[in-house]
Amino acid sequence: MTPLDGLSFQLYSARMLEPLEKQFELLAGLGYRKVEPFGGLLNEPDRLRGLLERHGIAAPTSHVGLDRLRVDPVATVKLCRDLGVGTIYAPAPPLGEREGGEAEWKAIGQELNRIGKVVTGEGLTFGWHNHHWEYGKAADGRRFLDIMLQEAPDILWEADLAWIVRGGADPAAEVRRYAGRVKAVHVKDIAPAGQCLDEDGWADPGHGVLDWGKLLPVLQEIGVTLFVAEHDKPNDVARFARRAFATVSSWR
Question: Looking at residue 18, what is its pLDDT?
Answer: 95
pLDDT at 159 over 90: yes
pLDDT digits (tens, 9 = 90+) for 184-242: 999 999 999 999 999 999 999 999 999 999 999 999 999 999 999 999 999 999 999 99
pLDDT value, residue 100: 86
* DSSP code of residue 192: P
Whether 161 and 185 have beta carbons less than 8 Å apart is answered as: yes
pLDDT at 99: 85
pLDDT at 1 over 90: no
pLDDT score at 88: 98
Residue 55: which H helix or E strand, with range? helix 45-55
Quick: pLDDT tens for 59-115. 999 999 999 999 999 999 999 999 999 999 999 998 888 888 999 999 999 999 999
The dihedral over CA atoms of 174, 115, 186, 17, expressed in degrees to the nearest 10, equals -160
DSSP letters, 78-132, are HHHHHTT--EEEE--PPTTSSS--HHHHHHHHHHHHHHHHHHHHTT-EEEEE--S
Q: How many CA within 13 A on the CB side of residue 177? A: 13
Give the model's pLDDT for residue 124. 98
Sorted by sequence, the CB contacts under 8 Å of residue 72 that are 6+ apart come out as none
Burial level of 116, CB count in 10 A (0-12/13-18/19+)? buried
- Cα 129 from chain centre: 5
Condensed to tens digits (0 to 9), the pLDDT of residues 112-156 reads: 999 999 999 999 999 999 999 999 999 999 999 999 999 999 999
Task: Report the pLDDT averaged over residues 170-177.
Answer: 98
pLDDT in tens, 19-72: 999 999 999 999 999 999 999 999 999 999 999 999 999 999 999 999 999 999
